[in-house]
Amino acid sequence: AALLAALAIGARPFAAEETAGLLDWEIDRVRHATRELVARGLAIGVGGATRVAHDLIREAAAEALPAAARRRLHARLAAWIEDNAGDDLPLLREALTHRDIAGLPTGALAGRLLASAQRRLLGGDDLRLLASIADALDLTDPTRLRLDRSLGELAAVLGEQELALERWARVSENALDMPERQRAELEAARAAYRLGSQTDAHAHIGRARQAWPADGEAAVQLDALQAEVELWLDHETAAGSRTAARALAGARALAATQGGLERLSQESRRAYLAALVVAGDAALQEDRAGDVILLSGTILELAAGLDDESHVAALIRTGFALRPLGRIEESEAQY
């Protein structure tokens, strides 16, 4: 009966060793109980593991348990899975479900999921569940701010821009550190830009400038993003070109203070790259072919010093920019 209850609440196949750890039984006891369940048609073997024979049996077995017993089993499953999950995303997600059903705190485990190396495998429904967990935390709980920050970062990467905008706006509202508030407003503006919302993008850029004096990388990033909004959402080529030139000038000044392009920090390199990209966009809109070619070479040089994702994006973008100029062969050869 104890084994059947564990299999029913676990709702998946378990190896004998796993069940022994979960129930704190000797392995021989698990094997004996498993044989009894299989002989009665209540369980079946699946690839060296055991599960309840049918969903109807599983549901009936789970419903027959008192509510308190169900919660205890969910709690035990959550603890056992967490202890053995490491950085495995599906196991952490499974443990989160059991914790939630058991009525246990879920904030710390949600943070583990968002810190997992496999976090990009999370889906939109997973992100919304994690957002609801953050929402349920007290406003003064520092875990809430960390979860919102991590959710904003991941949602932006996964293309869930509405969630990214919402979370970064929340970070800005609750952050006490002014540079962090500025960064949150910048990221919110970036999400609004990707959503095509020029009003929200301008509003968040304005709040970012008000939150803290923008200098260094922050000033370059803000000018670069504002130029993107002016060029592609406002359709104001002249204004966007001027702002892009300001961003590029700031980036060059940043490089000069750090000893040149090759000595730029990662954050400065990303800011410089953003300025180069929008300066290239402005040159493209104004049909300045020479500037497009010159900027494209520096974009590739800078992106190569970041990560593969940035480098591939730069190669694709450079190919797109150079194709109308008949210079695509060089970009494709580098790819």
**Interval 5-47: pLDDT, tens:** 999 999 999 999 999 999 999 999 999 999 999 999 999 998 8
* 334 band by pLDDT with thresholds 50, 70 and 90: very low
Model confidence pLDDT, tens digit, residues 224-250:
999 999 999 999 999 999 999 999 999
Cα separations in angstroms, 228 against 163, 190, 242, 247:
21, 10, 11, 11
Helix (H) or strand (E) holding 49: strand 49-52
Q: Is the pLDDT of residue 172 over 80?
A: yes
| 143-157, 271-285, 290-304, range with the lowest pLDDT | 290-304
* Residue 284 identity (one-letter amino acid): L
Q: Is the pLDDT of residue 124 over 70?
A: yes
Q: Is the pLDDT of residue 326 over 60?
A: no
Predicted pLDDT at 323: 67
pLDDT, mean of residues 119-126: 94
d(CA 153, CA 7): 37
Model confidence pLDDT, tens digit, residues 73-84:
999 999 999 998
Q: Is the pLDDT of residue 330 over 80?
A: no
Q: 254 is written with which tokens?
A: 């940043």
pLDDT, mean of residues 81-94: 92
d(CA 23, CA 6): 8
Q: Is the pLDDT of residue 331 over 70?
A: no
d(CA 89, CA 121): 8
pLDDT, mean of residues 187-200: 98
Q: 92 is written with which tokens?
A: 């952490």
Q: What is the mean pLDDT of the chain?
A: 92
Q: Is the pLDDT of residue 269 over 60?
A: yes
Q: Is the pLDDT of residue 327 over 80?
A: no
Q: Is the pLDDT of residue 329 over 80?
A: no
* 328 band by pLDDT with thresholds 50, 70 and 90: very low
| Residue located via tokens 């919402």 | 166
User: What is the DSSP code string of 224-255?
Assistant: HHHHHIIIIIS--HHHHHHHHHHHHHHHHHHH
Predicted pLDDT at 332: 42
Helix ranges, the chain (H): 2-10, 16-23, 27-39, 55-64, 67-85, 89-102, 107-115, 124-136, 142-157, 161-174, 178-194, 198-211, 216-228, 237-257, 266-285, 289-304, 308-322, 328-334
